[in-house]
Amino acid sequence: MTLVSGWGRFPVVDSDVLRPRSFEAVGEAVAGMAGSVARGNGRAYGDAAIGAVRTIGMTGFDRVRSFDPATGRVRLEAGVLLSDLIDTFGPRGFLPFVVPGTRFVSVGGAIAADVHGKNHHCEGGFGRYVDSILLRTGQGEILEVSREQNSDAFFATVGGMGLTGVILEATMRLRPVETGWIRERVISASDLDAAMRALDAGDAVTYSVAWIDCAARGRDLGRSLIYLGEHAGKDELARDAVAFPAGKNPGLSVPIDLPSMTLNRYSIRAFNELYYRMGARRAGGSHVVSLYPYFFPLDSIADWNRIYGRRGFLQHQCVIPEQGARAVLGEILDRVSRRGDASFLAVLKKLGQGDGILSFPLPGYTLALDFPLKGDILNFLDEIDRLVVAAGGRLYLAKDARQSRATFEAGYPALSRFNAIRKSLDPACNIRSKLSQRLFDEV
């Protein structure tokens, strides 16, 4: 048994970890023990990628099966990382349509969480660009699932947190791009109303996201920087610029767990003040930036999860339906800023309709916050959850480590349909994660 945890380093649990080398061995790993789930690169924050008994590491499956340079269709093994896809096909003029805030996630994980990016409001989630999936079910079958073939299983697998089976391979479409650069425009918003207006005004822009200073309060509550982006064409680059900038490996890294003292209301406030002022100075004009800092600002610091100390941290990401979102978001931000120990930065963005049965996105605003694991944080987040549920919102499973069953069930009304499909694929419930034990499985 090995101690395993997610990116947030909470919870830490014992699990039998296997790294099969063939699809047959994956099958044996699933069949051999009730209670296993696949794990990609371990970037889910909580307990989603930890098996109830056994965790099946998939990063060894990192082969590209085929690529059509005319259409950008690619077939891959599930352990290929998005960073690998970007490094490999970027220089050939193709990028994933959807990337989350880190490029170090596997394709299988990105499908299982139906990850969203800064373009969800206009282009949808990761699953929208997946044409078919090769799935190894808990019952032992290997199924090809797509919108046309086994479509129930397909839509349960997209966003299904790995609970419909082990994703072995996927065929997906890549986005043709002229360059690896983004034309970015920064808007500074002095409060939450201005931030939401700026995001609304950016509806037609491909990429948009707001970084909120969650230490600000009172009149400044919700003050933020909104980053809008479009893919830059070749003609927009400086004459000597390379069309596709190289992605650097993380230069800085956090070598040790910082003492939990490091993050306190003063250091966070100082950091946020600085971040806001530096960003505000760039506001207004547009400029061209490499895709890496634009999409993956935190990837430049390896092991940044150690900033929160040994006990780890919790991320709370909710989505609130558009109607009434302003009041609820204001209330949440107000409570967070009064509390004082919230994250460096909160992220606010707009989402559109999700594709999978359990996909997180719904039309509205999503707010992501980090909290160091200490004090009464669990109670505090339960209170925030009540606001979310009352507003008809839900929490993102890929980042969750602590929500209650009631919160989950209220937020995901399609759960019974998902459960029925899951049961048909895996009657004995061989596929089980710590997350599914906490939130889904019959008790």
Partner 1 sequence: MTSRKTVLVLGGSSDIGRAAARAFAKAGYDVGLAGRDIAALEPDAADLRARYNIEVGLHKFDALDTASFESFVGGLSALPDVVVSIVGLLGVQQNAESDFAHATTIMRSNYEGPSLILGLFAEKFLVRGNGTIVGVSSVAGDRGRASNYVYGSAKAGFSAFLSGLRARASRGGVHVVTVKPGFVRTKMTEGMKLIGPLTVEAPVVGDAILSAVEKKTDVVYVSGKWRLVMLIIKTLPEAVFKKLKF
CB 283 within 8 A of CB 188: yes
Distance in Å, CB of 228 to partner 1, minimum: 32
Distance in Å, CB of 291 to partner 1, minimum: 19
Distance in Å, CB of 65 to partner 1, minimum: 6
Interface ranges with partner 1 (CB under 8 A): 19, 21, 63-67, 69, 74, 88-89, 92
Distance in Å, CB of 47 to partner 1, minimum: 23
Q: Which is nearer to partner 1, 91 or 363 (CB)?
A: 91
Which residue pairs from 257-264 have beta carbons closer than 8 angstroms and sit at least 24 positions apart in sequence? Answer: 257/306, 257/309, 257/310, 258/306, 258/307, 258/308, 258/309, 259/309, 260/308, 260/309, 260/310, 260/311, 260/372, 260/374, 262/307, 262/309, 263/307, 263/308, 263/309, 263/341, 263/372, 264/341
DSSP 233: P
Q: Which is nearer to partner 1, 92 or 217 (CB)?
A: 92
Give dist(CA 401, CA 385) in Å, integer.
Answer: 13
Q: Which is nearer to partner 1, 19 or 335 (CB)?
A: 19
| Cα 383 versus chain centre, distance | 23
Give dist(CA 60, CA 40) in Å, integer.
Answer: 9
Distance in Å, CB of 310 to partner 1, minimum: 16
Q: Which is nearer to partner 1, 88 or 286 (CB)?
A: 88
Distance in Å, CB of 56 to partner 1, minimum: 14
List the structure tokens of 239.
Answer: 């004459």
List the structure tokens of 175.
Answer: 């986005």
Residue 439 phi/psi, 5° resolution?
-120, -30
Q: Which is nearer to partner 1, 249 or 353 (CB)?
A: 249
Residue 142's Cβ-count burial label (10 Å; 0-12, 13-18, 19+) is: middle
Q: Which is nearer to partner 1, 63 or 405 (CB)?
A: 63
CB 192 within 8 A of CB 329: yes
Q: Which is nearer to partner 1, 167 or 320 (CB)?
A: 167
Distance in Å, CB of 69 to partner 1, minimum: 7
**Reduced to 3 states, what is the DSSP secondary structure of residue 431?**
strand
Looking at residue 183, its amino acid is R
Q: Which is nearer to partner 1, 65 or 265 (CB)?
A: 65
Distance in Å, CB of 255 to partner 1, minimum: 9
Distances (CA, A) of 376 to 10, 260, 346, 354: 15, 15, 20, 33
